[in-house]
Amino acid sequence: MTHAAVDQSQNAYARLAGFMYLFVDVAYLVGLFIVSRFQVAGSVVDTAQRIVASETLYRIGLSSLLVGALCTIFLAVGLYGTVQAIDPKLALQALVFRVVEATVFAVVSVLSFAFLQLYVGPGHLNAFDASQLSAISSVRVAASIAGFNVAAIFFSMGSILFFHLFLRSTYLPRALSVLGLIGSLLVPIVCFGSLIAPRAATWLAFGWIPIGLAEIAAGLWLLVKGVAPGAPSESAPASP
């Protein structure tokens, strides 16, 4: 490991990544919290009644999820600008994985807004009998869950690479980089486990805790401290 001066733009990218780590997590959590409040397990009619009663709030929840997907691009760009000096090829691969993640989440958002018309469209609910409504609702839920897990797998690949690059530098404390790397490695296990054994999804969800803590801590660190000038980097040329 040798020393190199970190230019001003790299520090700006680091602070952008730190802010976006926190903002994206908040956007997704707020969106999931709002949307989940409207879901009534096993009752399409009750779910529809709740949505119709507070349609604007439900749309805000869906929009918050979409904002999270959109801002993931800014997060990926910030992370790429921070670590690309360490290994440009790995950093680019990580960027691509995060962009694909955001794209899949955006597609899920499109489907969510489209299915919303089933509940709020005039006469749409009356056009189907109970069994048909139940089947349509089941497909919507299954598509959302599958889309989330697929997007999260791409997220994990990008996160593994970014935290691997952080581990090769001193941009983050070593323990924090290790936590992020371990947490990122757990995510594909959780997601593939949920896709293969859906009944185990509830307890598998605990596997999200390490990466959640790592992202919050990394976001705060990068936002507050940025990348300190002279931080060691593997790819930097040796000083005389």
Furthest CA-CA distance within the chain? 78
- Residue 187 in contact with residue 144, Cβ under 8 Å? no
Say which residues have a Cβ less than 8 Å from residue 145's Cβ, sequence separation at least 6: 194, 198, 201
Least reliable range by pLDDT among 57-61, 142-146, 190-194, 214-218: 142-146
pLDDT digits (tens, 9 = 90+) for 160-192: 999 999 999 989 999 999 999 999 999 999 999
CA angle 89, 5, 167 (to 5 degrees): 50
Secondary structure (H, E, C), 32-98: HHHHHCCCCCCCHHHHHHHHHHCHHHHHHHHHHHHHHHHHHHHHHHHHHHHHCCCCHHHHHHHHHHH
The strand pairing partners of 232, in sequence order, are 3
What is the per-residue pLDDT for 48? Answer: 76
- pTM, two decimals, is 0.86
Q: Quick one: pLDDT band at residue 219, thresholds 50, 70, 90?
A: very high
pLDDT at 209: 95
Average pLDDT over residues 105-120: 86
Higher confidence at residue 238 or residue 180? 180
Query: Is the four-CA dihedral 186, 192, 195, 199 of positive or negative sign?
Result: negative
Q: Are 146 and 152 in contact (CB under 8 A)?
A: no
- Other beta carbons within 10 angstroms of residue 18's beta carbon come to 24
Q: How does residue 228 score in pLDDT terms, banded at 50, 70 and 90?
A: low
> Which residues make Cβ contacts (< 8 Å) with residue 196, sequence separation at least 6?
none
d(CA 1, CA 3): 7
Rounded average pLDDT over 113-129: 70
